[in-house]
Amino acid sequence: MANRNKPIPAQVRTAQRADAALARHLNWQKWPLARQLAYLFSAEAATGIATRVEPHSVLAKLYRHCVATRSSNEQWRIRHFLSQLVQCRTALLHRPELVPALAHIGLHYAQRVRELSAWQPPSKNAFYQLDSLLRHLFDQYGDVPAWVLGGWGSSPDRHAGLDLTQLALHIGRGQALRRFAGLPVAISKRQEHALRQAPAGCTFQEAYRYAQLAERDATEWLGVALDSRLGREPIGLDDALWLAVLDLFRAEPDLDPWQFGPVCDWIYFRRCVGSPAESAQPGFSLRGRSLASLLAHTARWHRTLGHLGRNPHYMKLLESTWPGLSVPDFAGGEGGWVQVRQLRDYPALLEEGQRMHHCVANYQRSCQLGRNGIFSLTFNGARMLTLQLTAARQLVQVRGRYNRLASAEEQRWVNQWLAVARLTVADYAWED
């Protein structure tokens, strides 16, 4: 009881006042921005922010990215920038997710091409404000690609190892993109033009794939390409092979483009992995191989994969069936040695294409929609012709192996089938 009136030592009073001050930090959001900034770089910030501020708040993130991991020189540069930014009426300092970008602006603020005092936020949207601020400070001619600015402050591209912040500074000074010293691959002037047109949100690797497709006038394949090994593997590693496969697909515009990825996966398996029955073939190439053969091999290989390794979209395609046209199959000759059979599922189309060395598989979609029917003519079980019939019951295409024309005997049996089934034939069906 006697200790109640005992004088409190000066050190204890100082500690109590510090504790009271820390308690008031819970209301740091109500402080003016200038006061928050002063506290951020003060000696008390390390203890106070760690114990009294929410870890995901703006203040905590500012401390983590602008103070805790920075040298004294870097802190000074960032503080110099932030002290000027707080004088602008901007929402940037109220968004935790934008703090890393602001820290990088501070680090490179000395390289600005315009003064911050001349900048006005274009809207209330913080993300639009960040883009506007970056262009104002670092884009002298307004031609830095959106995907480059979008990577400001991010970690280097995991495939290309490219620092997009440095690239933005380089282009922003009016330098050619292809002259940037950190590029992982040499770029032509034409490729640079395409790279600058790549969609916002791309990494450098994705933008480079866009440029490769732009050279082929195939930018509509970007999503398919990025979802395949062409998009996943580092630049330069088998690019020519995957692009050659892409060219095969582009030559068959009716083919489901999402088969491109599984075909590339099968090729990689044959080249680099192999199986107990057949070892890997590092020298595997497309020479002498048709797209029909690649599709058939891919389908058979994909069925051997476990459920976790299968592509759900591709499996759905492999399992696709259709009722077919209301045209009966045909049997002719002694013992029915001549057969005309309609193909009613995708594996059957793949098998027909592989055996006949043409890409009849690209009719899968039109068969499902009932627009066409595909029939196979066999002699004693040997495939001879592939026949295309329209929904109007008209024969419009007749092709043998390697797309050859029908022989006289084959044509005679096809005409018998047409007569029995009461079908018509287009004049051009027998022509090349």
Rounded to the nearest integer, the mean pLDDT of the chain is 88
Mean pLDDT computed over 370-390: 95
pLDDT in tens, 200-245: 989 999 999 999 999 999 999 999 999 999 998 888 879 999 999 9
Sheet with 338-343: strands ordered across: 330-332, 338-343, 372-379, 382-390, 394-399, 424-425
CATH 2.60.40 for domain 330-430, yes or no, is no
> Where are the chain's structural domains?
1-138, 235-319, 330-430
Dig out the tokens for 207 from the structure. Answer: 């933008």
Name the band, by pLDDT with cuts 50, 70 and 90, for residue 44.
Answer: confident
Tell me the average pLDDT across 404-428: 93
Report the pLDDT averaged over residues 80-85: 95
pTM of the predicted protein model: 0.78
Q: What is the mean pLDDT of residues 265-273?
A: 91
55: Cβ contacts below 8 Å, ≥ 6 apart: none
405/308 Cα distance (integer angstroms): 44
| pLDDT tops 90 at residue 278 | no
The angle that helices 204-215 and 239-250 make with each other, rounded to 10 degrees, is 50
Measure Cα distances from 405 to 22, 77, 251, 357, 360 in Å. 89, 76, 21, 13, 15
Encode pLDDT of 335-366 as tens digits. 999 999 999 998 999 899 888 888 888 888 89
Residue 181: pLDDT band with limits 50, 70, 90: very high
